[in-house]
Amino acid sequence: MLNFFGAVAVAMLMLFYTLEERSYWFTLLFALACLASSAYGWLAGTWPFGVIELVWGMIAGYKWWLRLQKSATE
């Protein structure tokens, strides 16, 4: 079950990364997929992967926030 969760998290990460430029909502979904992938890394005992994905999730969340603010002013 853990491997299935990890595979789905990484697949969603790739999908939302590909669609990210279409809408800021895809950026948010990419950030959430990064956090899910991070959770998988911690649960699987591969903490370096968990740390890297956590950082990517925070960066993507910040990017989403900036894009949301920009779209609110337009």
Residue-wise pLDDT tens digits, 6-35 = 999 999 999 999 999 999 999 999 999 999
In this predicted structure, the answer to whether residue 74 has a pLDDT above a threshold of 80 is no
Residue 51, pLDDT score:
96
Average pLDDT of the residues of the chain: 94
Query: H/E element holding 17?
Result: helix 2-19
Backbone angles phi, psi at 46, to 5 degrees: -105, 75
The token duo for 65 is 């926030």
Give the mean pLDDT of 60-68: 95
C-alpha separations of 69 from 3, 18, 20, 63 in Å: 36, 22, 16, 10
Structure letter (DSSP) for residue 22: G
pLDDT over 90 for what percent of the chain?
A: 92
Residue 72, pLDDT score:
85
